[in-house]
């Protein structure tokens, strides 16, 4: 059974806070990686935390380990542009999109 998870990352040690998200190194590789996870149905929503240099991703996964495995090869995590802070199971009560 799939659950919903929130994966929050922050700016890693190699993040240049004077530059925007798309101006960081490895943007193309990161975008391609994330697009694959979206296409397979693992990521439902996501985007940058603009003022902090991190990101928030909403995942569809069986457990936290599955989310960690999916994110393991993210080029920006591997190279310290982002740092994975937390992965939490999330029960949605309110969703105005429906």
**Domains defined along the chain, listed by start:** 3-90 (3.30.70.1060)
- pLDDT band, very low/low/confident/very high, at 38 (cuts 50, 70, 90): very high
Q: If you average pLDDT over residues 71-95, what whole number do you get?
A: 96
Quickly list H helices, 1-98. 27-39, 64-71, 75-78
Evaluate whether 67 touches 9 at the Cβ level (below 8 Å): no
User: What is the CA angle 65-36-21, rounded to 5?
Assistant: 90
25: pLDDT strictly greater than 80: yes
Global pTM reads 0.92
Average pLDDT over residues 26-55: 96
């Amino acid at each position: 059974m799939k659950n919903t998870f929130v994966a929050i990352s922050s700016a890693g040690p190699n993040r240049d806070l004077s530059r925007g998200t798309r101006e960081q190194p490895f943007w193309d590789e990161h975008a391609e990686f994330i697009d694959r996870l979206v296409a397979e149905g693992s990521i439902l929503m996501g985007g940058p935390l603009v003022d902090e240099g991190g990101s928030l991703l909403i995942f569809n996964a069986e457990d936290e380990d599955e989310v960690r495995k999916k994110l393991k090869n993210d080029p920006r995590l591997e190279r310290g542009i982002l740092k994975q802070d937390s992965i939490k199971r999330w029960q949605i009560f309110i969703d105005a999109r429906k």
